[in-house]
Amino acid sequence: MCKTLFRVRIGQLQNRYFIISAIVALLFAGAVVGYAIPMEKQEVPARVILDNTGGRIVFAHQAHAVEYGGDCVDCHHDGVEGESYLPCGACHPAEFDEQFRLNHPKAFSDQKACLRCHDGVPAGPLPEDQWPDVESIPTRGEAFHSLCMGCHEENGGPYGDDACYQCHAR
């Protein structure tokens, strides 16, 4: 009787492990198939994360572009990705420091972009007397604040000194 009971228990354990193994195999196969099927590229990304010293911002890009009726050039004054797009930091750095001056020329694939701020295409590091007037070029934070808060003020969105943490994470 003891041997029969032992065999029944072993059989139950084997069935249980078989079922668990089958479930794990199905979940694994589903994960592999889900990973292998390419996602359709979204024309407008749902969210964009902006890292900054004031706290990370999760920007509801699709809501601003689709639901609120924003046009791409309202924010992307240098075009849209794939259409001569320049990242914001190419012209609007966190600050105009030595690191920006060294990395700035690498941000542009076309030398024509230089002529937006420079009198000619620089052939190398510029002497200080030939630098553009950085007082007239806003830093990235200044550019975003004027763009975002100006639009929010016009359209009744969060605006003002007490509205910072409605966009910035603490």
**For residue 7, what is the enclosing H or E element?**
helix 2-36
Same domain, yes or no, for 52 and 33? no
| Domain presence at residue 148 | yes
Q: Report the pLDDT averaged over residues 122-133.
A: 77
On whether the CB atoms of residues 78 and 86 are closer than 8 A, the answer is yes
Strands 57-59 and 48-50 come out as: antiparallel
The answer on pLDDT for 110 being more than 90 is: no
CA distance 152 to 135: 25
* Short-list 101, 98, 80, 82, CA closest to 90: 101
Is 135 found in the same domain as 88? yes
Q: Is residue 10 part of a domain?
A: yes
Q: Are residues 32 and 113 in the same domain?
A: no
pLDDT for res 28? 94
Q: Do 74 and 156 fall within a single domain?
A: yes
Same domain, 123 and 63: yes
- Tell me which range, 42-46, 63-67, 83-87, is most confidently predicted by mean pLDDT: 63-67
Q: What pLDDT, on the 0 to 100 scale, is given for residue 166? A: 79
Contact 89, 138 (CB under 8 A): no
Q: Are residues 53 and 8 in the same domain?
A: no
Q: Is residue 96 part of a domain?
A: yes
pLDDT of residue 6: 53
pLDDT tens digits, 23-52? 999 999 999 988 888 877 767 778 888 877
pTM of the entire predicted model: 0.58
> Would the pLDDT of 95 be above 90?
no
CA distance 96 to 74: 25
Residue 43 covered by a domain:
no
pLDDT of residue 2: 53
Q: How many domains does the chain have?
A: 2
Our measurement of the distance from residue 10's CA atom to the centroid of its chain's CA atoms, rounded to an integer in Å, reads 54
Looking at the structure, tell me whether residues 12 and 59 fall in a common domain.
Answer: no
Distances, alpha carbon 91 to alpha carbons 128, 134, 135, 143, in Å: 18, 10, 13, 10
Looking at the structure, tell me whether residues 74 and 127 fall in a common domain.
yes
Do 92 and 143 belong together in one domain?
A: yes
The set of residues, in sequence order, having a beta carbon less than 8 Å from that of 134 and lying 6+ positions away, is: 96
User: How far, in Å, CA of 82 to CA of 4, rounded?
Assistant: 72
Query: Which tokens hold the place of 147?
Result: 């763009």
User: Domain limits at 58?
Assistant: 48-166
Q: Output the pLDDT for position 25.
A: 94
Q: Do 53 and 99 lie in a common domain?
A: yes
